[in-house]
Amino acid sequence: MNETAHSYLDDFNTGKTTSNKVVARCLERITERNPSLHALSEVLAEAALAQADDIDRRKSAGQKTGRLAGLPVIIKDLVDVEGAHCKAGLDFLKDYIAEQDAELVRRLRAEDAVILAMSETDSGAFLVRTPQTTHPVAPDHVVGGSSGGSGAAIAAGFGLAAIGTDTGGSIRIPAACCSVVGFKPTYGRVPLDGVRPLAWSLDHAGPLVNSAADIAPVQTVLDPQFDSTGSTKSGPFTLGYDPDYYADAVPEVRQAFESALKLAESLGHELRKVSLPSPESVLAFHMINLTAEAGAYHFEKFPDQWDNYPEGVQQALEIAKREPAYRHVQAERARQVARDQVARAFEEVDFLMTPTLPVLPPRKSDETVETAKGPVPVLQAHISYTCLFDQTGHPALSLPAHLNEQGLGSSLQIVGPLDRDKAVVDLAIELEKARGSLQG
């Protein structure tokens, strides 16, 4: 397992390591592997080393350092970082250099996080492959997306935390594909000023890390009220699951999910079957309101760039062009019905649990993937269990559940009530400790 953020911070604060050492180690790995992995679109080595040296000097002088002092953080390249190329995976934005930091980046810097690099993004954050990036463990397989560069970078040890965005699952999907931890906070808890939108009412930003215990140090900086979002009760908890949310899972994923449920039960938690909006019904309205909002942004912001969008993005924007306004209204009504149904489920249980994905990471060449119910497009398979919680805004975390001999695996998705972000992270930490290290 790669070095964790929380262990580095402990070692830095007790004088066992320095910021320069950890940043230099990350840069060595980047120099060695990023030319083949293409997880990072730009490396900010000179500025990162200068910042690390400044942090070490201040600490040696007995001066105050921030809560994330020296932590190497990678930023998805649709999040503005002053002086960096922030192209959002779009070739026609390759020359765009941000003039100021996004608010979330400002918060990280204010606590002495070292902004190390920009990570590759699926074009405009529309899709779920990040095809330009190579999987660090299984080169023939996808890293997921749209925050695929962030997921691959953490898996490769390029940084100790990375920032991604999530509109249909784009933090949790690459976390699952790369067997790292990804956290989507409650909608609105992390500011999106300076983050290029995909769909305003669905966009979230959050961290990808190596361990569930790494989430809190980062999230307390991104969300200053994070510590107040713990559970309102002490455990054990009631954990809800809906059989529809693993009915099409392949046997390897289903077995890992059932093992996770048994592990939770062995810790004293109660399991209870609940009813959630079906994945099929959510996908139907998700693809309408997401593309409508994306079209509203892209058609206004880049009216002359149609020919420069890749085919997959054009197909998504075509939905926005052809769907009449009443269909968007219907989608929003269906969204509210789904929110109400999830709210009723949380009246019965403390958390919800599903697999993150119904399948293992597909091969790069796959256009469809085989589920237990038959072949479906990769996009549909990847967002079928995740996009509901972008629509409802609930906090959701992807935690690795198993690894096979290829080093590929499946993940558990833990979902909490609105504004109970820390409660989700705390449960993930408990399950991660009980699970132990994964062996591929």
The whole-number average pLDDT for the span 61-81 is: 98
**Beta bridge partners of residue 231, listed in sequence order:** none
Who's near 234: CB < 8 A, 6+ residues apart? none
Task: Quote the pLDDT of residue 415.
Answer: 98
Residue type, 311: E
Encode pLDDT of 368-396 as tens digits: 999 999 999 999 999 999 999 999 999 99
The whole-number average pLDDT for the span 331-358 is: 98
Task: Quote the pLDDT of residue 146.
Answer: 97
Helix (H) or strand (E) holding 104: helix 103-110
Look at residue 439 and tell me whether its pLDDT is greater than 80: no
Task: Quote the pLDDT of residue 235.
Answer: 86
Task: Quote the pLDDT of residue 54.
Answer: 98
Secondary structure (3-state) at 302: coil
**Backbone φ and ψ of 320, nearest 5°:** -60, -35
Cα 186 to the chain's mean position, in Å?
13
Q: How confident is the model at residue 2 (pLDDT cuts 50, 70, 90)?
A: confident
Percent of the chain with pLDDT over 70: 100
Mean pLDDT in the chain? 97
Look at residue 440 and tell me whether its pLDDT is greater than 70: no
Encode pLDDT of 295-304 as tens digits: 999 999 999 9
Task: Quote the pLDDT of residue 437.
Answer: 85
Answer whether 200's CB lies under 8 Å from 229's CB. no
CA-to-CA distance for 69 and 55, rounded, in angstroms? Answer: 7
pTM: 0.98
Answer whether 312's CB lies under 8 Å from 417's CB. no
**159: which DSSP letter?**
-
The whole-number average pLDDT for the span 82-110 is: 98
Task: Quote the pLDDT of residue 1.
Answer: 62
**Beta bridge partners of residue 40, listed in sequence order:** 119
3-state helix, strand, coil split of the chain in percent (to 5) is: 45, 15, 40
Encode pLDDT of 207-231 as tens digits: 999 999 999 999 999 999 999 999 9
**Beta bridge partners of residue 75, listed in sequence order:** 118, 163
CA-to-CA distance for 66 and 108, rounded, in angstroms? Answer: 9
* Nearest residue to 105 (alpha-carbon basis) of 145, 74, 67: 74
CA-to-CA distance for 186 and 190, rounded, in angstroms? Answer: 8
Look at residue 189 and tell me whether its pLDDT is greater than 80: yes
